[in-house]
Amino acid sequence: MSKAAVAERKIIHIDADCFYAAVETREDPGLQGKPVAVGGNERQRGVVATCNYEARSWGVHSAMPMAQALKLCPDLIVIHPKMDIYRQVSREIHAILQDYSDIIEPLSLDEAFLDVTASENCHGSATLMAQEIRSRVWQELRLVVSAGVAPNKFLAKIASDWRKPNGLFVITPAEVDEFVLQLPVTKLHGVGRVTAQKLERLGISDCATLRKFEPLQLIKHFGKFGERLWQLAHGRDERPVEANSRRQSVSVEQTFNQDLPDLAACLAQIPMLMESLNKRLARVGEEYRIDRPYVKIKFHDFTQTTLEQAGALVSQERYAMMLSAAYARGNKPVRLLGLGIRLEDLQGQAQQLELPFD
């Protein structure tokens, strides 16, 4: 796709505010104005899946251990997740989105990208569509969603977060350059803690500074991702909205109420984990082929490691060998174990092979 075509895109990112907690408050109005967190039991080492802004004002946030959240906010109301309800509400939101575009890429139950470039709704105005979507979700479902409108996915996602909660922010093509210049590098897609620290050591804290570096300089420091950094610093993102995202892996994880003290205790969990993994694998269609197995370990101090092996057979013995090697990297009590399988998408390959003959 040409750069001109990319520049003409109209992308909306929709993000439901505090989704699980908002659904719970809608179902029980008595929770209105009170700090609410949805997640696991603190006695079973649960974590916060999401929380409302009343809870956030106390310092509570997603992925925080529930026990810590309760220390910060003793009046926190903890609700066990009701995933069936959340999935149903998510479907209802997506039914509204489908009135505006057939090109929708769900990221999770509570957020999605829409490519409305060719949509004739609202006289073709992406801004008006975003306003209408937000209004309809509130009127029909009594839930609040924030929206970002921009020429690409990278900027649309940033925009949806710009005026949260209950916000709408628009970045027009003419405003991209000025907007991106002010962005801290931590806002760039794919920049995590380690990359941010490396950028900081180079004296790079914002996109204005990042732009002073040539692509080859960034590639030298960050490999292939260096070119991506350069593109994002200029507000460029050519990724299309993928309406039919394909599965890349299948996995199971188990967080334990008490730490597993040693390798033997970890190895004893493999049969149970494999039974669950095989059940999930049985639901994977024939358009996928098993590629390589992997294991994931999260130690008691929340450090984690993943190990995978190309060309390896999926067996209990193979997982035991991989788990032993991964455990040796930390050699300390274990909080979470996971087994998984990377998948090869045969259908996607077939579609790519067909392209030259179209």
Residues involved in catalysis: 111
What 3-state DSSP class applies to 120? coil
| DSSP state for residue 114 in the 8-state scheme | E
Whether 110 has a binding-site annotation, put simply, is yes
Torsion region of 311: left, alpha or beta (phi above 0 gives left; psi -120 to 50 gives alpha): left
Distance, CA of 92 to CA of 166 (rounded, Å): 19
Length of the chain: 358
| Sheet (strand 168-170) strand order | 104-108, 111-115, 11-16, 145-150, 168-170
Q: What's the rounded Cα separation, in Å, for the pair 64 and 315?
A: 34
The set of long-range contacts for 57-61, using a CB threshold of 8 Å and a minimum separation of 24, is 60/35
Which tokens in the block code for residue 69? 């959240």
Question: Does 75 count as an annotated binding residue?
Answer: no
Distance, CA of 8 to chain centre: 26
Contact 210, 233 (CB under 8 A): yes
Placement of tokens 């000025």 in the chain? 178
3-class SS of residue 302? coil
User: Widest CA span of the chain, in angstroms?
Assistant: 64
Tell me the binding residues.
15, 110
